[in-house]
Structure 1
Amino acid sequence: MKIEILDGAMLKKALAGAAKFLEDNKEEVNSLNVFPVPDGDTGTNMSLTVNSAIKQGLNLDEDSVSKIALATSHGSLMGARGNSGVILSQLFRGFANGLNGKDTADVRTLAEAFKQAADTAYKAVMKPTEGTILTVARECGEYAISICKEERDILVFLKKVINHGEITLNKTPEMLPVLKQAGVVDAGGKGLIYVLTGAYNALAGIDKIEVKTPEKKKVEQKEYIHHEHIDTDDIKYGYCTEFIINTKYEDIDLFRNELSLQGDSLLVVGGEGLIKVHVHTNNPGVVLEKALSIGELTDIKIDNMRYQHEEILLKSELSKSNNVENKDFEKEYSFVAISIGEGIDEVFKGLNVDYLVSGGQTMNPSTEDILKAIDNTSGKNVFILPNNSNIILTAEQTKELSSRNIIVIPSKTIPQGIAALLAFDESKSVDENTESMKESIAYVKTGQVTYSVRDTEFNNTKIYKDDIIGIAEGDIIANGKEINEVAIKLLDNMVDEDTSLITILYGSDLTEELAEDLENYLSSAYNDIDIELIFGGQPIYYYIFSVE
């Protein structure tokens, strides 16, 4: 089989193959997390990003590779999740630019598109790090250019590029010591190889991929609806929570009964490896944690129904005005924060956050999720608090997609986000507040206590699966068998002579009694430091500490 020209139909098949192969192998990518903590989500983020991309590309009733690639690029941008997803969206963007104006593509055109993809991704990252997906993309692009003059068969060309990419991927531990120490290759780079391999397999007929021609959508007449006011206090369970579990667990009835204690409108269906869940609950963190105990989660969606109803009423009232588009902003500043956990939500609400986006480790929100949050605020200037290092790039993407003045405060943790909000002063200018909020982040140290998902060695310390581990500032500081024992070791390493306050956010898997035991110990051990205990309700992490 020989392919010298790639047309629109072939590109769609390649994209569908890329998405399927990455989806099939995403758990292997997730497992390449440097830390052995239960929040490896690179594969999931990349898969969700690609699926969003191809949804746009495959549904486009066009034959030119240029228009298909452009639609795919837009879909990836809106669906980008996590740092790896954002970088992948930039690769799609550069690839589309390389195919601009082309109805079909030959080897040379594809090589130039690969090179432009890597160049675009590098420009999108302020401080590119070698030994990551960027390195693999760059090497693939440069190698593609070097062989495109001598090779005309697209399949042979792709195979050579993938082989070179795998060689580069295997060198990433030599470029990043943290990868070598953990004994893994770069997860994002591995995901990119799966994307390219899936595209090759589809074109070569190794994987049978069928792409259906999209049906023409019928134009429906608008229906005007009058929304009656409902007292949101009457909504017993406020969060509509949906997700899919990939699992070998078979006792669906038992799992359904366990979830029935957490809310109503419960739907648990599936089998043969997949369980679909829908539930209205007041504590989505608990529901997600129960689901994580039996398998891996995908397609997570959490909506605050109280907010939704209030927003529908607001939009309904605004639509009565003839000048909705020209309406002045109601206030100078609005805040959007990424949050997970019932108690943490309440903390952010108490600090006047206008809109909360559910997300964090294992469930990074997409660019589109954050854009929707921005649209549901009424401030001229919108501050975004990602509160997770893996969400900062996603938040940055919204700047070019929104007409508002978007300011992303690079908060990497929940405590940093809280500190930034406390530093805000409404009487100050945007620039002054931005500076002071960013400065406040530097004065907060964050600690986290969770469990190990695999055996590993970190900083010459042997860590076993299910060990309790304490993490601070990017390092595993303590490990052991007891939660509070590890928490105390962690804080002993974080507290110094300047510490005046320790805030404890305890998670959904911890009893209040155990958290109070820790509070009492710390109050005795550090009698000159204020200790504050708050129910955070976060999944995965037993404790989140803020040390100031």
Structure 2
Amino acid sequence: MNNIKTINGTDFAKILFLAKDLIFNTKDQINQLNVFPVPDGDTGTNMYLTLESALKNLNTIKEQNINIVSKKIAKNAVLGGRGNSGVILAQILYGLSKGFDKLNKCDVKEFGNSLVDAVDASYESVSNPVEGTMLTIIKSFSDSWNNVRDNNDTFNDVLPLVCEHASKVLKDTPNMLEVLKQANVVDAGGQGLLIIFEAMKSYMSGDKPDIDQIMNKPGQSTTGMNIKDFVQEHAEDEWGYCVQLVINDANASHEEIEIAVNKNGGSTVITGIEEYVKIHTHSEDPGKILSSCIQYGELMEINIENMDKQFEEFVNDSEIELEVQLNENQKCSIIAISNGNGFNNLFVNLGVDKIVKCEKTLNPSVSEILEAIDLCKTNDVIILPNDKNAIMASDLAAQESVKKVSIINTKSIPEGLASMMSYNNELDINTNISNLENNTTDMNFGSISLASRTGVMDNIKYKEGEYIVVIKDKILFAETTLIESVSKTISYMSPDQDSLITLYWGEHSKEKINKIESQLIGQFNSIDMEFQYGGQSNIEAWVAIE
């Protein structure tokens, strides 16, 4: 693409469409950086959803006036901003639109002026601005842009310079904000902003962005501990609720509303456009936030999210694995073979010392198990294979090891978890073996997986894409929906009122589970039921009944 000296409304929209796609492709990586103000792993997702709202109904835009286009984008963004990062991003877009006021198109100097407005709007929206966040990064873009614009009159010349400068500032954010240094990450919102400006640079040059070069990964900083240590330290913290709403035709100033909200909220961001005021805050009591706002006008677009649950999902969905604390009185160690971050963390929380992680099927190599045995701190070691396919490799590893290694023949992960309920590493290995084996005798479990092809087995016909239910290594039936397969599995197992039903969802089931859980609770309302995230990739759900 030729050197570009001006952009119009069509260009601005296309830049943001490109940015939206780039954020979508990197949102999981951005989420992994998210520790401030709450480590709920949603910054990338919220920035993507905010851009999606901002660009609503703009796919076929023909308007070229940057003033008109940017104002439409800003209004959509302010009303649809999600989370702390999304609401601040919306204010940046709003500030840019103010700078584009009365312009048909925008040159490099005018874009620099608009960035100043974007900085002002974003800082003013936050009740307690903190440096080392995306506020710092948008300011670094503005400062750098306005420093180089006098000697560079094309966007192609300016953007590489400002992106390079902002990237350096982003890498320094752990030195500005202690919580980032503790977790050894850069600011997640700042990373998202860098990606947006890199998308703009890509639009101008026609070159594909180098994601590996742009992205900062957890642990790349040379200071601090690491994200795993940070999560371990904050595992018991309570975060409350993220509350977002819009007041239509508010009869008070932003300042007055902010004072009222902050009586029961924190991390508050107040934005607005035209007759709408957008509120984002964190609170232990969402009801008090709504009550404090209703006096100012009609409440719209109310969204309340449990941040404690988001934190749990952040840990489960990530590669973060909590570690069991070393016990000075420990007499034996225990190893679990596992599949899924949710299961991994459940095992560690129950006292497992080492996890042998498998990506799909539980079929580890002997050397992987031996490595875990060697890393255990005690000479006496117990292994939970958790699958019949892992028992032979576990036996061979036990024979090869110089340590005293015993195998508990657990044939599923739920069985392994159940056995851990009686484990105590201060007891000798023989007592623990007896306790572990006794704890699995009264347990039934079944797995539900998707058929990858059409076939017949155990006299049961099934089609590709159907849910196959397996109990005691035998296919019992196949159903077309997950809810039907789970319901039928539970009914087949015949639980009584004293039973406990536990469902462990796989990584492919998260979008469906809320509705399914409500249906199951209603159907089996006389029986205690728990739901856990296992994160296993090969099985849609495990059903365990004790």
TM-score (norm 2): 0.46
Structure 1 or 2, whichever has the larger Rg, is: 2
Name the structure, 1 or 2, with higher relative contact order (CA <8 Å, separation 6+). 1
